[in-house]
Chains A and B, each alone.
Chain A
Amino acid sequence: MFQQRTQKSGRSVTTWYRSGGLSAVLFAVPLVLIFLYFSWGPIVRGLVLSFQKNNLVQAPEWVGMANFSYVLTDPQLPQAALNTLYFAFLALVFGFPVPLFLAVFISELRRTGWLYNVLSYLPAVVPPVAAILLWKFFYDPSTTGVFNSILGWFGIGPFAWLNSQSLAMPAIVLEATWAGAGATSIIYLAALTGVRTELYEAAELDGSGIWSRVWHVTLPQIRGIILIMMLLQLIGTFQVFTEPFLFTGGGPNNATLSILLLIYRYAFINGDFGAATALSVLLAGVLCVLSVVYHFVTRRWSTT
């Protein structure tokens, strides 16, 4: 078909038409238009907005790079960027291995696997806002708070949790890991079913124990998924908003102010949509670059 198409144009159009090309396009048009309008439209609009001073009531005024220089010189930006990186780092160190471990663990269980599956996935069913309110209750800083009471039995604490500049971020990561692990481990579980059982049998015959089987068979076999999940997690953690917004409002002393929270403040507290979109565009740019770099760095290990 492609060869035909590259030949005479007249003939190729007829062929294209006869083979149902027009109806294919007609089918695709509504989808493409909707996609363009609702998915790409806002992106383009956001890009335009980042170069404007616009209160969305009056005629917008083009201000060139003023919004960008404003957000780049904002003294809150370095702090927000560092906090976001810190969150991403903690989420990677603690949040990344947990679902992987869970998935491997659950897949090893023959009979009760479903039970652990349900238990680990349960947090994903709880709406984030409800979950965060619940955890806020756990993190009550008084000695009668849930976590402080439990730790108190062992003579530890009490901790200020969210009220402490140094503990607030780890506390948020703990909740985020709890909330996100189930959904991620389901994906790993699906990947694990694709690992050929002969490999395990062969390894067992060679006398390898459970840990070396996991290390030498399981992990290499699902590395493609692992790499993709890691990228998704990186992008996700760079856009963390709900947790700091609901847990601490960015405090104490901006210790949990994330970039997205800063964007939110620009737009909905200061009413400065130009600055908000400018920072969004910058963040999107950084994430694009990050994804490309990640792709090239991990190409050697990738399965695709």
Chain B
Amino acid sequence: MTRVSRWGRYGTALGVAGLLLAAAGCAKATDPSSGGAAAAGGEIDEKAPVTITIGDRPTPDKPNDIKAFEQKIKDFTAKYPNITVKSTETKWEAQTFQAQVAGGTLPTVMNISFTEPANMIPNKQLPDITDELKLVDLTKDLNPNVLKIVQDANGRIYGVPIDVFSVGLAYNRALFTQAGLDPDKPPTSWDEVRQYAKQIAEKTGKAGYAQLTTNNTGGWMLTTMTYSMGGTVESQDGKKSTFNDAPTKKALQLLKDMRWTDNSMGSNFLYNQEEIRQDFAAGKIGMVLQAPDAYDMSVKNFGMKPADFGAGALPQDGGPHGTLTGGSLKMISPKATKNEIVAALKWIKFDQFDKYTTEALAVQDAKTTIADKGFVGRPGITPLSQETYDQYNKWREPYVNVPVKQFQGYIDSTTSLKLLPEPSNKGQEVYSLLDPVVQQVLTKKDADIDKLVSDAASKIDARLAR
């Protein structure tokens, strides 16, 4: 009896404490809303003192970058004395980003990937910055094609794209030469890809072509292939799937043929982004769908010889259809007040866009990049108007340390291929449901493509309707 009563007492105490805790938890959970309401109500005062926190501070292993970064902050605060700038090393990573949003630890400004806004805009995790953008006179500089990534259906803007790329075909020039192919002529159609892959596999024993398949990259690349065959994945309004038709099936059939008929895809079919770049850099893969930024990781982290890296256009099937875009943008914390948003946009303009219009800044930027063993001149797509970008590249020409000629195929495609954004509604969820489709085609010889695609479509439709 006594034992029970003692436990009873402890139990009551625990229960009371638990209730208190629950109450505290609830109180905390409602906090952000009150903060948000206050922020929305404020009037913009450009002269009022304001403090912003900037993410992506260079890590201590890049002393020159840090020096330049700090100098930039100094210059910025000299120009805008009412703005106080703090900085953190916080940067975007696919695996931890949602946790950071959840933890409320985001700085006022930071870089994030193009894949995020599609989910964050409807989730109200990004502030509407359309009016503030006009105020700091940034809107006109931005490439309208790219801006679509950060707009909602009404054309309101929720972020500032700063770095853009599109998916192309990365290929190993050394393997091309070994297989008797011309390393300056990457394939431009999927038929050629199949033929080249077979040739590489037969002559070198390596995988002629490899495909991303795990952690949503399978769906991501199937979407890219579908686009290149003239198809789409989601309807315009994002309410229905549209891939249960010829282009997607053709893409899967191509993979199936390369895998099972030609046996030109090697033996590993579970690849995420890092693993595939690792094997590509190690010379185990002839061709793989990648944006040109794969160059950085392949060369810097995995020791690929710069001379072996080639970047071609995304192969097409039946006329130029387009390619999938990616890149990074500057996001502003959803907790920022109006004044903070304006200050943050001024910083973004100062930090990211002034260098495109001022020769001294463009050159300085190139010099610091080189001093920290970074890459200058890797081709990409401009977040700005083409003339501004060409001028900027001209200034930096003497400092280019990337074999730009080996990117020629890709560079040509940047003007000929349309930039197609990722599925607008629940993109990552769609990808995660498409991963197994690609995996099955590559690992199960008797996979029924029609059935796989229609099953995936009905699953995805159920998700999109939620």
Contact = CB atoms under 8 A, between A and B. Distances in A.
Given A56-B101, A60-B30, A140-B268, 19 more contacts: A2-B6, A36-B14, A55-B101, A55-B123, A56-B103, A57-B125, A59-B36, A60-B29, A143-B267, A158-B267, A160-B267, A248-B270, A250-B214, A252-B440, A252-B443, A268-B96, A270-B119, A270-B429, A271-B119
Interface stretch (B17-25, B246-254, B374-382, B414-422): B17-25
Interface in A24-54: 32-33, 36-37, 40-41, 44-45, 48, 54
Interface residues of A, number: 47
A112 interface: no
B22 A251 contact: no
Given A36-B18, A251-B213, A251-B435, A267 B98 contact: yes
B95 interface: yes
B176 to A, nearest CB: 21
Top 8 A-B pairs ranked by shortest CB distance? Answer: A59-B33, A249-B214, A2-B2, A56-B102, A141-B267, A252-B439, A253-B440, A142-B267
Interface of B: 2, 5-6, 14, 17-18, 21-22, 25-26, 29-30, 32-33, 36, 95-96, 98-99, 101-104, 119-120, 123-125, 213-216, 218, 266-270, 272, 334-335, 426, 428-429, 432-433, 435-436, 439-440, 442-444, 459, 462, 466
A213 interface: no
Given A248-B270, A253-B440, A267-B98, A41 B459 contact: no
A55 B104 CA distance: 10
B443 A164 contact: yes
A142 B32 CA distance: 53
Contacts of B444: 165, 253
Contact of B25 (A41, A142, A265, A267): A41
Contacts of B213: 251-252
A162 interface: yes
Consensus secondary structure, chain B interface: helix
21 contacts: A33-B17, A36-B18, A55-B125, A56-B101, A57-B101, A58-B36, A75-B459, A158-B267, A248-B270, A249-B215, A249-B270, A251-B214, A251-B218, A251-B436, A252-B269, A253-B439, A265-B432, A268-B99, A269-B428, A269-B429, A273-B102
Interface of A: 2, 5-6, 32-33, 36-37, 40-41, 44-45, 48, 54-60, 70, 73, 75-76, 140-143, 158, 160, 162-165, 248-254, 265, 267-271, 273
B439 to A, nearest CB: 4
Counting chain A CB atoms within 10 Å of each CB, which of B2, B36, B102, B120 scores highest? B102
Nearest to B123: A55
A61 to B, nearest CB: 10
Nearest to B96: A268
B272 A249 contact: yes
Given A140-B268, A249-B272, A37 B21 contact: yes
A248 B218 CA distance: 13
A269 B216 contact: yes
A56 B103 CA distance: 7
A253 B443 contact: yes
A56 B104 CA distance: 8
